[in-house]
Chains A and B, each alone.
Chain A
Amino acid sequence: MEELNNLFHGFGVALTLPNIGFMFIGIFLGVLIGVLPGLGGANGVAILLPLTFGMSPTSAIIMLSCIYWGALFGGAITSILFNIPGEPWSVATTFDGYPMAQKGKAAQALTAAFTSSFVGALVAVLMVTFLAPVVAKFALNFGPPEFFAVQLLTFASFIGMSKEPPVKTLMAMMLGFALAAVGLDSVTGTLRMTYGQESLLKGFDFLVAVIGLFGIGEILLTMEEGLAFKGHKGRITLKDVLDTWKELPKYWATSLRACLIGCWMGITPGGATPASFMSYGTAKRLAKHPEEFGKGTIEGVIAPETAAHAAGTSALLPMLTLGIPGSPTAAVLLGGLLIWGLQPGPLLFTEQKDFVWGLIASMYLGNIVGLIVVLTTVPWWAAILRIPFSIIAPVIVVICAVGAYTVHNSMLDVVLMLVFGLMGYAFKKLKYPMAPLVLALVLGDMAETSFRQSMLISKGSLGIFVSTPLAGTITGLALIMLLWPVLGLLKKLSRG
């Protein structure tokens, strides 16, 4: 019951007037980011991160995580009303959400989406509340080999689980590691890969990479598609909400499955996007009337939304307890922790109780605030999407440029943002995944340090990663994940 005490303490931290204010600001900004093309959870948080340098870490993380929840909610609005997924994780929501809107059931679809998101998040937060302290306590016994094994598992599961070709996943990841290694080597103080350029001393900042890859890249892609926003009207009355809520409990099984898929995909670094697709697929396979899917069934909205939100939320568990983020947005939040001078990992739970439990409490409150905000303000957000792209696009580019500049007050970063933007465009087209690149860029130094420390302990023998049962098990799992695509290939070959 120590968790409950801590949680109540956390509510005390989160429920101060300024923090509630930050929660509302965060949710509003988040929904806005989720609705606008080119701005998403990861780059939205990255752009706003420099604004929080002067704030207390607890208030800052509350605001930034609320931006994340807001973005998760916001993605559903554009998917259902405009058939445009504002976020990658809401692509699956368009399959049934938009047909529902076409049938004139936009209000039901939106209510179902928001409520499911809320349920998914709530289940995930409950899990975080009770599981995170256990994981953290367990992880206190980790030495460098165990940490490296966990990191290896994270990256290996990217290769094993990704929809993209495994080789391209590996390449994107290695590029991230290579970029992370540029600059001053933290162990020996040697300059690496700067090629005499003073401006490269500090290395590549992942915030700039995120803003470019996800922001500018997305704008370029949107421009290419020549989007014309034609949408349905979104207005939710109290009656719509109550009617839909009466209907929702019928789908408890779909909901529960979606929660499980979401939590699992969030903890292992699958992230919200694959979780939503997987959940939609499972719901369709197990449904009584699978032929209804794609034509506007409410189940087809519940399944992906619940899973996406559960995954997005539970992605914070490994970030807080092990210092390993489960999604790109969690990676950006992790970067924030480092900038505020907090070392993510198991010690956070013993040394920064206010921070951790304030954050967890704010996850409960933020999602309640989020649900109320989106249910009451949908028409407003839909109106924003009707602003023509020729106004929105340059404004978003300006915002991205400002965001990239403020990271280090350096114009070089703005230029780099442009380069990363072009890269994001090409990557998307050629099916190179961006999440592993970002994660490798964030975790590169940490992974390298734990690898080198392990090597120092073992005097250069790789055997250290299987020397203890714990490290051995995790390394074994990682190897299975790595070989997963190879197994698939063999199966295909044997079938002829």
Chain B
Amino acid sequence: MKSGAHLQMRWMELLVAACFAGVSLLVITDSIRVGNAWGSDGPEPGYFPFYIGCLLLGGAAWVIVQTLLAWKQDSGKEVFAEKHEFNLMLLMLIPTAVFTAAIFVLGIYVASLIFVAAFMVWQGQYSYFKSITVGAGISAALFLLFEIWFSLPLPKGWIETWLGY
């Protein structure tokens, strides 16, 4: 296989461990801010999280060191994901992110209709009619279940407001 046709495990390992380390630093600095020592009336609020942060940082450091030690041996053979696999994953992730953003603007019912229908047309090559029917069915079912049956309001956009909800 050509190198570069896949995402290397070792890089992802480093990236995730670095994220862990970043989080641990946030935890440790804030614990020191609120006090991580023994106050007049017992342990201060940062006492427990401080050690949690330290363990997290230690773990991340361990993973980073291990990955670097095995760096040459591995030589990038271990696969995190093949390029085409990763692209497939993005084909799910990006529409989901757009869908989430769309809820803010359009409300969940309209956003769901468009999301389900678009995904069906785009990924499943269904006809527009079929896709919109399924999307509308899902939105209608959600509406009946949540607004009417359980009276739990879901986020709404201008269309629902226009219809009087």
Contacts and interface: CB of A to CB of B under 8 A. Distances in A.
A460 B47 CA distance: 11
Given A178-B23, A193-B30, A415-B100, A391 B124 contact: yes
A174 to B, nearest CB: 4
A240 interface: no
| Contact-size category for B | 35 or more
B20 A390 contact: no
A425 B89 contact: yes
A397 B104 contact: no
Interface string B20-40: 100110110011001000100
B43 A455 contact: yes
Contacts of A456: 42-43
A112 B126 CA distance: 39
Nearest to B139: A398
B43 A223 contact: no
Contacts of A168: 59, 63
A224 B85 CA distance: 5
Interface in A426-457: 426, 429-430, 432, 448, 451-452, 455-456
Given A414-B103, A418-B100, A402 B12 contact: no
Nearest to B137: A395
A167 B52 CA distance: 14
B120 A174 contact: no
A409 interface: yes
B42 A394 contact: no
Interface in B58-81: 59-60, 62-63, 80-81
A175 B23 contact: yes
Nearest to B130: A391
Interface string B134-156: 10001000100010001011110
Interface residues of A, number: 58
B49 A181 contact: yes
Given A171-B56, A390-B123, A394-B120, 17 more contacts: A171-B20, A174-B52, A188-B45, A192-B49, A193-B49, A220-B89, A224-B88, A391-B116, A393-B119, A394-B115, A398-B142, A401-B99, A401-B103, A402-B108, A405-B155, A418-B97, A456-B42
Interface of B: 9, 12-13, 16, 20, 23-24, 26-27, 30-31, 34, 38, 42-49, 52-53, 55-56, 59-60, 62-63, 80-81, 85-86, 88-89, 91-93, 95-97, 99-100, 103-104, 108, 112, 115-116, 119-120, 123-124, 126, 134, 138, 142, 146, 150, 152-155
17 contacts: A168-B59, A174-B52, A178-B52, A178-B53, A191-B34, A192-B30, A390-B120, A394-B95, A394-B99, A397-B96, A405-B155, A411-B103, A421-B96, A429-B81, A451-B48, A455-B47, A456-B43
